[in-house]
Amino acid sequence: MRKKHIRDYQHVSWDWNGTLLDDAAFCTECLNEVITGQGKPPIDLHRYQEIYTFPASAVYTALGLPSDEVSYKKSSIAYMSAYEKNRSQCQLHKDALSVLESIHAARIPQSIFSAYPQESLEAVVAEYGVGKFFQTLHGNDNIYSNDKAHRARSHFEGLSVPFDEILYFGDTIHDAEIAQSLGIDCILIAKGHQARHRLEGQSAKVVDGYDEVLEML
């Protein structure tokens, strides 16, 4: 981070899944529905955080599932069906709401930039009662969790804020790479979809939880 405090930025943008929403364990369960249905053994959260990556098709490849387009789309549909059916069992990460409230109180605009489908993103943000914190929600136009890089410049340029005045929160190497490519500061939450040791060494600050983020405010 180039700036000492979060309040020194003009805009804070967020990833959703794994970053604000604590859903990695739930995603592991959903993935297990897909892979056990194809004759593969289930995995635990630790294994999930070791193999999760973008694009999501690489996750299925790592688990020995067919990687052709038809098979991947079939697996993605099954996964998303399992996720959407029970997504309400997830909660925001501990202290995440306090961070959103503090940034909002400081009158710093916030947004979400996510790989989650746009319609689902809008619905779930409303369900968790946090829509008031965000001036814009930028989700995906499909369910396949392809990389976010091709949409990143559009999102961040649309904020009408200099890139060096934006702080982006994520939980994956991909988030850090996107931020670095645009010259945007990034903080990675190590309780999301990738293990901490994978996040370390990126051009981003890594924190274990939002209690650490509160100290930066």
For 41-63, the pLDDT digits (tens) are 999 999 999 999 988 889 999 99
Phi and psi, residue 180, nearest 5°:
-60, -40
Q: What is the DSSP letter of 133?
A: G
What is the model's pTM?
0.95
- The confidence score (pLDDT) of residue 129 equals 97
- Paired residues of 140 in beta bridges: 117
Q: Which two tokens stand for residue 205?
A: 């600050």
Rounded Cα distance, 49 and 196, in Å? 9
Lowest mean pLDDT among 33-42, 66-75, 136-145, 168-177: 136-145
| Length reported for the chain | 217
